[in-house]
Structure 1
Amino acid sequence: MKFLLAAVNAKYIHSNLGIYSLKACADARMAGGPVEIELAEYTINHQPEQVLQDIYRRRPEAVGFSCYIWNISFVRELIADLALVLPKTEIWLGGPEVSFECETLLHSLPAVRGVMKGEGEETFCRLAAAYGEAERLGAPLQAERGIPGPSDADLAAIPNLAFRRRHGGIFQTPAGPPSDMGSFPFSYKQLGLENLEHRIIYYESSRGCPFSCSYCLSSVDKALRFRPISLVKRELDWFLERKVPQVKFVDRTFNCKKSHALAIWRHILEHDNGVTNFHFEIAADLLDEEAMELLEKMRPGLVQLEIGVQSTNPETLREIHRRTDIGEIRRITARINSWHNIHQHLDLIAGLPWEGIESFRTSFNEVYGMEPEQLQLGFLKVLKGSHMAEMAESYGLVYSRRPPYEVLSTRWLCYEELLELKGVEEMVEIHYNSRQFVHTLGLLQEEFSTPYDMFLHMARFYREQGCAGLNHSRVARYEILWKMIGSLTVDCGRREIYRDALVFDLYLRENAKSRPEFARDQNPFKERMREFYRAEAEKPRYLPGYQGCDGRQLQRMTHLEGMGDGTFVLFDYRDRDPLDYNARTWRLDLDGAVKR
């Protein structure tokens, strides 16, 4: 019989470690058994009809869906039709979105046979084995429908299940013991998964979390476990040998056990292939001097750190049970910034208890001042099973009943203020996290009292101009920002400085073929530019890596921009910064060059 494990990912580049692990474990345990386990990965951008057709053509006897807040609406819609076209196929659900309130869920989804709660490896292995045994014996699951499968008694012996009985009623089995992290096979190798160069690869070296953050489901699992470091090293070598672009550790607090984190960081430093990037979610205030000295040695781009600050309000941090030393985070992130070798992503959450609009503005300005490569402004998701959901009424927490259950208002933050934060979030994503306006933002910040005020002004300008929420081309973004700068009270000299900063930012990332309308006319400089490139082709001074190219070819592959102060900026796209991927630049004048 065929058991299909289906994942509906948020994006094509994502991979689903959950279903890989279930299949790898079941295959290893039941090698040559009667159950064929297949994998199918889709995205929420697929049409449900496309996914339905694909599953129908596979004809599974049972199908299991991996469920999260971002795909549950899609899965619910799909299940309704799947039950109509494959009425004899058993449907199972698993994942964090369905592991709580199982009885309510099963009552709302009559086509679903059951739910695998919590960790799935042991549960799925035993469930698949039960289907295999029923297949071997030829036992009918429901005689009137002719569906082969395990009996209620067989299912009742499997831990972490909630299932619909044959003759009515829902039965939930007790929880099993926490999984042994060393008992799982390495999914990617076990399944022979290759061609991973265009995917983000997720990897797990630990489960559970020692902290008790009230908004997070990881706090529910107190059984903190680690995969043996000998296995982790071998598995990381497998990724390194294949030069996978990015390995994203899903460990909730990667450095909560110092020896484990240091062993992994030492290994990737010593075996760096010059290509693979490793992403870790850490607690910055747990980094000690030994860890810092190790991180400082990393190749630019080898390591990426995500640091969940969430708030700088002490009352908020106490209420959400988050032990965070903001002063220490500030010190640590500043030191990491000074090395210019590690991307830092700092996270804030809007809608937390005791955090009103003024408090959040303070949190935003403090974290912005830490100068991360990305500042992720997220909004509270009230997850089923979390302590935050239990406290919702006392917090006056109003949130959407539709996934992802995002906050709408609290006792401290009204919906109008939340909309203000939404506008700021959009501007941060466009102008800060894209890293395409770095120099312009540095100038623009001088016009405002705080960084928050700057992004708020941008958001209001976008809304007034009818630009908010729309997709714009890269050049159009620069033109909108130029128009906004024109609405400020700045003198002509300052305006010209902004013009040069915008053009500099535009060409820093790519040799743009379309120029914005505000860009300075380059016709007066054309002959001077041609002379520069002719001389550079004959005797390279700034572009040594272009041997054999004539002046015209050099001009096409690089960019030279005449600026308002009479100098020129040369952009070399072959020699990029390994951390931010910006072009190498030279500021040229008649007397020489200054590297930037």
Structure 2
Amino acid sequence: MRVLLTAINAKYIHSNLAVYSLRAYAAPYRDRIETAEFTINQQQDYILQRIYEKKPDILAFSCYIWNVETVLSLARDIALVLPETKIWLGGPEVSYNGEELLKTYPEITGIMRGEGEKSFLSLLEYYLENKGEPEEIGGILFRKKDGSIGQGRPEWPALLPLDEIPFPYQDTEDFAHRIIYYESSRGCPFACSYCLSSLDRSVRLRSIPLVLKELQFFLDHKVPQVKFVDRTFNCSHSHAMAVWSYIREHDNGVTNFHFEIEGDLLREDELELLGQMRPGLVQLEIGVQSVNPRTLAAVNRKADFEKIARACRKLKAAGRQHLHLDLIAGLPWEDFDSFRESFRQVYALGPHELQLGFLKVLKGSGIEREADSLEMVRRHRPPYEVLYTGWMSFADLLRLKGVEEMLEVYYNSGQFSVTVAALEKQFANPFDLYDGLAEACREKGAFDVSLSRMQRLNMLRDFIRKEEKLPAAVGDQLLLQDWYLRENAKTRPEWAPDLTAWKSVIAGFYRSQDRRNRYLPDYGQYDWKQVMHMTHLEPFLDGDGAPQAWFLFDYRHRDPITGNARMSRIEENPA
């Protein structure tokens, strides 16, 4: 019999740890198990064709909020073209409503609930070895021969010690252009009611010798990024210190590591260690969610924002990590003004990325059970995003959607950092900057079309001129800096000064060996014309067209955190 473990990921660069872990744990049948990964952006006809060509006897899907509707649609079609195939589902999106799904979709053979390694292995023993009966398998629901729904052992399989799960990537070589997911722990010590991790508060750690051995595998293969899926990586101080110390000591200059951590758990020795790392080696994601104490209490989230803020300031001052902070809109007791204040305080910490997310009332979560009492109304379909609450109207949330879009475009992208840094200071609350940009986009119908980087630049320029928060000439200079910080653009904005009159001055700067040695010492192997092509020299002119300053953009040397080119102010007249 042929077994196919199938993942439908959100993006091509993502990989699915679940299917690899299931295959690794089912080691006795590894030769009969294939994996297939697709994305939600691919046509269902294409996915159906590829699955049909493999003709699996057992087909298992990994189900999440982003792919479950695609999976259920495919299941119906697969049952028509491969009627003998057994279709099994697993994952968080089917673990809490399995009986309902089996009643609604007769094409589905069964559902694995919760952790799937033991259940999957037992299913293979049943199908491939005729060993036991489905009723004896823990953690499953299944369709009986008469069409009724049966259940495996009432108790789910005992939670596995993580060291018993083999390393899932041992036979994998294709790491190019992919994010690799890795877990060194399961469970979470906290009980945030909006999160499914709160249902498993027992934290299990993979042993440090095993973790370090597996990290070395990634380092040896120069995997671009390893993303730890641990829900709170630093809940164990000794575990975090051991992993971070190893990463620092064995840095290969290529691989970076992403961790979700609890900011108020960071200790001084951890901050000191993180401050010794190569810039960009580690990315840290901290979920703040809200600074409203009543909101945090309502969702059982214990967090000390002052400690989080203190840790973030130290991380920013050290400048070694990409810092990603999260906020959630739509939480109980958080109205529009309260969220605006949460935004202000978190934005002030200066993260490299601030994610404005919207509450998802997940099946099986504590907040789902409390939704009625909390006056929460959510979408009926995945991802079950909240539509309104007793504190936040649908109109409020739509307005925040606009803020989210502007935050992504003008802040998180890093493409307008110089202009935004100057502009945000002109607002009492930086939230109002992004709210104003969203309103300007709505007025122009810009949310209805896909804009190029040039169009976004021009949108920001129009906003600056309309709001008059900065002198127009200053705004233009800042925008030009942003334009060239990101790339050596060959197309200039139509409003940018014509450099024709300055061509001889610019060429003279590059002809000077002395100036090239002083400002661009790493370009010694190139002649002046090549260096001029590889870098950019921009004059910033006053109202009379005379240069106020010259800036040199060096694209061979980029900030390892932001990706921006190195920019130098030329302190002499290039002529």
TM over 0.5: yes
- Residue by residue over 1:529-562, the C-alpha shift from the partner in whole angstroms, topping out at 9 and shown as x without a partner, is 0000111488522111222322221111101111
Q: TM-score, normalized by length of structure 2?
A: 0.97
Q: 1:125 aligns with which of 121, 125, 132?
A: 121
Residue 480 of structure 1 is matched in structure 2 by 459
Residue 551 of structure 2 is matched in structure 1 by 569
Equivalent pair of 1:479/1:517 in contact (CA under 8 Å) = no
Quote how far apart the aligned CAs of 1:591 are.
6.0
Q: 1:528 to 1:43 in 2, by over 3 A?
A: same
Q: How many angstroms apart in 2 are the aligned matches of 1:518 and 1:365?
A: 33
Letter in 2 for 1:283: E
Quote how far apart the aligned CAs of 1:589 are.
3.6
Q: How many angstroms apart in 2 are the aligned matches of 1:591 and 1:509?
A: 25
Residue 407 of structure 1 is matched in structure 2 by 386
Quote how far apart the aligned CAs of 1:213 are.
0.2
Residue 176 of structure 1 is matched in structure 2 by 157
Equivalent pair of 1:497/1:564 in contact (CA under 8 Å) = no
Deviates more, 1:456-465 or 1:558-567: 558-567
Letter in 2 for 1:569: F
Residue 18 of structure 2 is matched in structure 1 by 18
Identity of aligned residues (%): 51
Equivalent pair of 2:181/2:226 in contact (CA under 8 Å) = yes
Q: 1:105 to 1:490 in 2, by over 3 A?
A: closer
Q: How many angstroms apart in 1 are the aligned matches of 2:574 and 2:87?
A: 71
Q: TM-score, normalized by length of structure 1?
A: 0.93
Residue 285 of structure 2 is matched in structure 1 by 306
* Aligned pairs (5 A) from 1:345-424: 345-424=324-403
- Residue by residue over 1:68-110, the C-alpha shift from the partner in whole angstroms, topping out at 9 and shown as x without a partner, is 0000111111111111000110100000000001111111111
Q: 1:490 to 1:378 in 2, by over 3 A?
A: closer
Equivalent pair of 2:58/2:87 in contact (CA under 8 Å) = yes
Residue 114 of structure 1 is matched in structure 2 by 110
Q: 2:489 aligns with which of 506, 512, 516?
A: 512
Q: 1:527 to 1:428 in 2, by over 3 A?
A: same
Long gaps (5+) in structure 1: 135-149
Q: 2:525 aligns with which of 548, 552, 573?
A: 548
Residue 137 of structure 1 is matched in structure 2 by none
Equivalent pair of 2:8/2:67 in contact (CA under 8 Å) = yes
Letter in 2 for 1:282: I
Residue 62 of structure 2 is matched in structure 1 by 66
Q: How many angstroms apart in 2 are the aligned matches of 1:478 and 1:203?
A: 38
Letter in 2 for 1:132: L
Q: How many angstroms apart in 1 are the aligned matches of 2:253 and 2:357?
A: 32
Aligned residues: 568
Quote how far apart the aligned CAs of 1:223 are.
2.5
Quote how far apart the aligned CAs of 1:215 are.
0.2
Q: 1:313 to 1:31 in 2, by over 3 A?
A: closer
Quote how far apart the aligned CAs of 1:21 are.
0.6
* Aligned pairs (5 A) from 1:278-357: 278-357=257-336
What SS does the aligned partner of 2:519 have? coil
Q: How many angstroms apart in 2 are the aligned matches of 1:378 and 1:367?
A: 14
Letter in 2 for 1:90: K
Deviates more, 1:236-245 or 1:480-489: 480-489
Letter in 2 for 1:24: A
Quote how far apart the aligned CAs of 1:469 are.
4.5
Q: How many angstroms apart in 1 are the aligned matches of 2:387 and 2:319?
A: 38
- Residue by residue over 1:242-299, the C-alpha shift from the partner in whole angstroms, topping out at 9 and shown as x without a partner, is 1111000000000001111110000101101011110000001001111111111011
Long gaps (5+) in structure 2: none
Equivalent pair of 1:197/1:243 in contact (CA under 8 Å) = no
Deviates more, 1:173-182 or 1:206-215: 173-182
Residue 561 of structure 2 is matched in structure 1 by 579
Residue 499 of structure 1 is matched in structure 2 by 476
Q: How many angstroms apart in 1 are the aligned matches of 2:574 and 2:503?
A: 19
Quote how far apart the aligned CAs of 1:193 are.
0.6
Quote how far apart the aligned CAs of 1:411 are.
0.4
Residue 78 of structure 2 is matched in structure 1 by 82
Quote how far apart the aligned CAs of 1:520 are.
2.0
Quote how far apart the aligned CAs of 1:12 are.
0.6
Letter in 1 for 2:17: L
Q: How many angstroms apart in 2 are the aligned matches of 1:187 and 1:457?
A: 48
Equivalent pair of 2:64/2:92 in contact (CA under 8 Å) = yes
Letter in 2 for 1:29: P
Quote how far apart the aligned CAs of 1:590 are.
2.3
Letter in 1 for 2:268: E
Q: How many angstroms apart in 1 are the aligned matches of 2:514 and 2:526?
A: 6
What SS does the aligned partner of 1:405 have? coil
Equivalent pair of 1:249/1:278 in contact (CA under 8 Å) = yes
Q: How many angstroms apart in 2 are the aligned matches of 1:297 and 1:359?
A: 37
What SS does the aligned partner of 1:408 have? strand
Equivalent pair of 2:194/2:366 in contact (CA under 8 Å) = yes
Q: How many angstroms apart in 1 are the aligned matches of 2:314 and 2:410?
A: 24
Equivalent pair of 1:461/1:484 in contact (CA under 8 Å) = yes
Q: 1:210 aligns with which of 174, 189, 213?
A: 189
Residue 259 of structure 1 is matched in structure 2 by 238
What SS does the aligned partner of 1:45 have? coil
Letter in 2 for 1:59: K
Residue 36 of structure 2 is matched in structure 1 by 40
Deviates more, 1:335-344 or 1:165-174: 165-174
Q: How many angstroms apart in 1 are the aligned matches of 2:276 and 2:87?
A: 50
Q: 1:51 to 1:587 in 2, by over 3 A?
A: same
Quote how far apart the aligned CAs of 1:450 are.
1.0
- Residue by residue over 1:364-384, the C-alpha shift from the partner in whole angstroms, topping out at 9 and shown as x without a partner, is 111000100000000001100
Q: 1:158 aligns with which of 132, 137, 143?
A: 137
What SS does the aligned partner of 2:129 have? helix
Letter in 2 for 1:179: L
Equivalent pair of 1:536/1:542 in contact (CA under 8 Å) = no
Equivalent pair of 1:374/1:432 in contact (CA under 8 Å) = yes
- Residue by residue over 1:448-499, the C-alpha shift from the partner in whole angstroms, topping out at 9 and shown as x without a partner, is 22101111000000000110143211111101111111212357xx211110
Equivalent pair of 1:482/1:518 in contact (CA under 8 Å) = no
Q: Within the alignment, does 1:532 sit opposite 2:509 as a pair?
A: yes
Deviates more, 1:529-538 or 1:208-217: 529-538
Q: 1:177 to 1:514 in 2, by over 3 A?
A: same
Equivalent pair of 2:506/2:574 in contact (CA under 8 Å) = no
Dislocated runs of 4+, deviation >4 Å = none
Quote how far apart the aligned CAs of 1:385 are.
0.4
Residue 99 of structure 1 is matched in structure 2 by 95
Letter in 1 for 2:159: P
Letter in 1 for 2:116: G
Quote how far apart the aligned CAs of 1:211 are.
0.2
Letter in 2 for 1:125: L
Q: How many angstroms apart in 2 are the aligned matches of 1:486 and 1:80?
A: 55
Q: 1:490 to 1:127 in 2, by over 3 A?
A: closer
